[in-house]
Structure 1
Amino acid sequence: MSATSVGFQTTQYFTVGAMAVAIFDYCLTISQEIQLIWGRRWDATRVTFTLARYVTLAGAAMTTYAAVVDRSKYTSCATFNNVSYASHLISIIAAEGLLIFRTFAFWHQNKKLLAWLLVLAAICIAGSVGVTKVVNILHPAPTMNTTGCVFASGKSSAIQYCFLILYELVLMVLMIHKILNFYEGARSRIITTLYRDGMIYMTCIIMASIMNIFVALVVPVAYTDIMDAPQLVIHGVLASRILFHLRQSRRSESPNIFPLADMYRTPDAGETTTGSYTTFVSVHKDISAGDSC
């Protein structure tokens, strides 16, 4: 077996494995989705969650099909590839949208911050798509994939992951800043869950993006899509679980005793204990308002 064949086969294993993880996670969490999501009004959070959840499954299924099915007899796969690319883009944008909603709530529903994050997201999306197209036009790479039916991509895909890492780092910095400067010393399950899941999610997705950049720039062309499906599934699965955990945490906190029994912070110099509790009551209302998270 040639090195190219080994590369394509390894990529198939990773792709099918990612699809299996997506299906397995869906089976594990469908009861949580029914309990925590179904029956609620179709607000921005539910629409974004639905896209992140189900477009991820569709995109992973299309990627798996492209990886395992012999499409050499087809004259062109451009339409299929465009739909698959769109599903990947929508899924990742929706997953990032859930993180934006969480950051928005964490920052006390600061509308200026929300506007800034949305503008930055638009810039990153436009930049990743635009720069990639420009690079492909100016420096077209020699490829065996003239019909688009070979499961492989060019090195320019690394550009998209650079923009994704940039945005994830911004969200991570905002999270760390708020934890260190406002929530330090807080004792609440919802705050702990918010911080823990956010750090785990962003660390995982940044590492997956770094791996994608490495694969795109270093490894042979047969391996260039090895992390395509895994990255998509990581986005969808972890973004969904963040929402589930937040809503479960909020349900478990008694609204009557939440501020006094479960959350406290050592008052700063000149700050009264009552003021400290009043601050955290406001935070709880911000996080819960309108089911933002």
Structure 2
Amino acid sequence: MSVPSFLALEHHQIFAYVNAGSVALPVYDYILTFDREIELVWAADWNLTKLLFFIARYSVFADVTLALYHRMGYIISDGICTTTYQATAWLLLWGIAVAELILIVRTWAIWSRDKRVGLGLLGALAVIWAVSSFCLNWYLSGVTVKSMVTIAPPLTGCLITGGNDVLLAFFVLLMGFESAVLGLTAAKMAQMLINLRSIARGTAPPVVRSLYRDGILFYVYLFAVAAANLVVLLVVSRDFADLLVTPQRVLHSLLSARLLLNLREASMRSVRVGSDSILTGEPQTSDVEQSGIRMTAANWSRCAALLSVDDGAWVDGGGAACHQPDGRDDDSQGHAHECNV
């Protein structure tokens, strides 16, 4: 049995350090945001978005733990090493997909739940992940996974060698998709700013600012990580083809969960009513005036509560009034206003 080179051992240690850091990050974020999760999410009615939130929020712990185990665990079998590496790769890929679904829901919401936007983004994501699954299967078929315990004791974990450049396609496709979503967000944001200029004292309410600010910033961060993966693969070494995939998975989980938490918090600030109107969507009769825009609290909760996307409310983009489910416009000041949530 051949002894791995010094360079291979050095690469193995780098992967172990990166995976260890990837485990620490979601734990730290969880400690910081757990109280907000209890307050803003737990009491909300169950729907698709809330389910996606919990999957994205908690599945990352299993993913990064398994990734750390196959790099640092005491594994004495090459077969177990191969199984854990392949399982980790598939979990990371589909964990990113769940986070992208949350971001698609946000983009669909700011585009007034336009069916063309929603179906277009879902279709694009389905095609990209089908191609990515094919590429990942091809990549995994070309790697060799060995137990470090059997070839270089007392080192632990699994040594991965070989592979190819097919992961390049995944990173390029992901960057292209996220660029398209960023473009949709920026276009709607520009439209909103133009319309706000025609409103007296018009400033975007907190929930609208949260949607656009977080959406654009988070996509910039995710695009940067995908670009870094691409640079590492093309410039550094093929051995590092998946070096930043685990951090990329962690960031997708953290940022998508933060986006929803920030949105829920902003929606509560936008309406001066009890938390029930935001978390449960129950009708309220009090009115609120925010930035020269007057509408009922119940209407704001319908427009703002992204976690309650199944309640049947919808908004009309491009500066039109927010509509209530019964079709009445709540525009007591005679202004057109945009809710775009």
Give the TM-score taking structure 2 as reference length. 0.71
When Rg is computed on C-alpha atoms for both structures, the one with the higher figure is 2
Note if contact 1:172-1:199 (Cα within 8 Å) is conserved in structure 2.
yes
Contact 1:72 1:150 in 2 (8 A): no
Distance in 2 between residues matched to 1:189 and 1:99, nearest whole Å: 19
Q: Which residue of 1 aligns with 2:159?
A: 150
* Equivalent in the alignment of 1:30: 34
Partner of 2:263: 246
Of Structure 1 and Structure 2, the greater strand share is in: 2
Shift of 1:230: 0.8
Deviates more, 1:210-219 or 1:237-246: 210-219
204-213 vs 71-80, which moves further: 71-80
For the Cα contact (< 8 Å) 1:187–1:262, is it kept in 2? no
Taking structure 1 as reference, are residues 158 and 126 closer, same or farther at Cα in structure 2, changes over 3 Å only? same
The answer as to whether partners of 2:229 and 2:244 remain within 8 angstroms in 1 is yes
Pairwise CA distance, 1:86: 2.9
Residue type matched to 2:292 in 1? A
For these two proteins, the number of residue pairs brought into alignment is 271
Counterpart-to-counterpart distance in 1, 2:61 and 2:247: 12
Classify the secondary structure of the residue corresponding to 2:243.
coil
Query: How far apart are residue 218 of structure 1 and its match?
Result: 3.0
**Deviation (angstroms), 1:166:** 1.2
2:62 is aligned to 58
The answer to whether structure 1 residue 212 and structure 2 residue 229 are counterparts is yes
In structure 2, the partner of 1:203 is: 220
Q: Secondary structure at the match of 1:71?
A: coil
Alpha-carbon distance between aligned partners in 1 of 2:73 and 2:241, rounded to the nearest angstrom: 17
Asked if structure 1 preserves the Cα contact closer than 8 Å seen for 2:211 and 2:263, the reply is yes
- Segment of structure 1 superposing worse, 98-107 or 4-13: 4-13
Q: Is the 8 A contact 1:205 1:234 kept in 2?
A: yes
Q: How does 1:91-240 map to 2 (within 5 A)?
A: 91-133=95-137, 144-145=144-145, 149-151=158-160, 154-184=164-194, 185=196, 186-240=203-257
Label 1:162 to 1:72 Cα distance change in 2 as closer, same or farther (>3 A): farther
Report the Cα distance in structure 1 between the residues aligned to 2:293 and 2:144, rounded to whole angstroms: 60
Q: Where is the helix percentage greater, Structure 1 or Structure 2?
A: 1
Identity %: 24
TM-score normalised over the length of structure 1: 0.82
Tell me, in whole angstroms, the C-alpha distance in 2 between the residues paired with 1:126 and 1:200: 27
5+ long unaligned stretches in structure 2: 148-156, 197-202, 273-286, 295-318, 320-330
CA contact 1:260–1:277 (8 Å) conserved in 2: no
Q: Is the 8 A contact 1:15 1:64 kept in 2?
A: yes
Hey, what does 1:16 align to over in structure 2?
20
Aligned alpha-carbon RMSD (Å): 2.8
Kept after mapping to 1: 8 A contact 2:82/2:145: no
Q: 1:247: Cα distance to partner?
A: 0.5
Give the match's secondary structure for 2:87. helix
Contact 1:156–1:216 (CA<8 Å) still a contact in 2?
no
